[in-house]
Amino acid sequence: MHRREIEGLDPRRTYWVPAVTAPQRDWAASPGCRKGARFLVDRRSLGPSRERFPTFDSRVEGLQWVMRHRAELMRNLDGAEVRVVELDRWLLGLDQLAH
């Protein structure tokens, strides 16, 4: 999905997405970012993204996707924990990814 397609989503459903926060300033996966910068995970590159991301119908489905791609995600998102969160809460900044 591309971010410009969000308005076409069914507002009655919950969509789940993989997301990360930058573990440090100038994170290798996103040079120049600040610590705590929020990103979705790109389905193709398996890297941080603000534009493209997969959506899932359930948290379990999202977690299964993360587990299938865990080696690549660990390599591409060095030092960050991938979490599966509700898209609407993430867009509003209501889902705290940091511990």
- Tell me the one-letter amino acid at 13: R
90's enclosing H/E stretch is: helix 87-92
3-class SS at 76?
Answer: helix
| Predicted model pTM | 0.86
Considering only CA atoms, which of 78, 72, 23, 77 is closest in space to residue 48? 77
Q: How many CB atoms lie within 10 A of CB 82?
A: 22
Paired strand residues for 2:
52
Q: Give the tens place of pLDDT for each residue, 14-50.
A: 999 999 999 999 999 999 999 999 999 999 999 999 8
Q: Give the tens place of pLDDT for each residue, 37-86.
A: 999 999 999 999 989 999 999 999 999 999 999 999 999 999 999 999 99
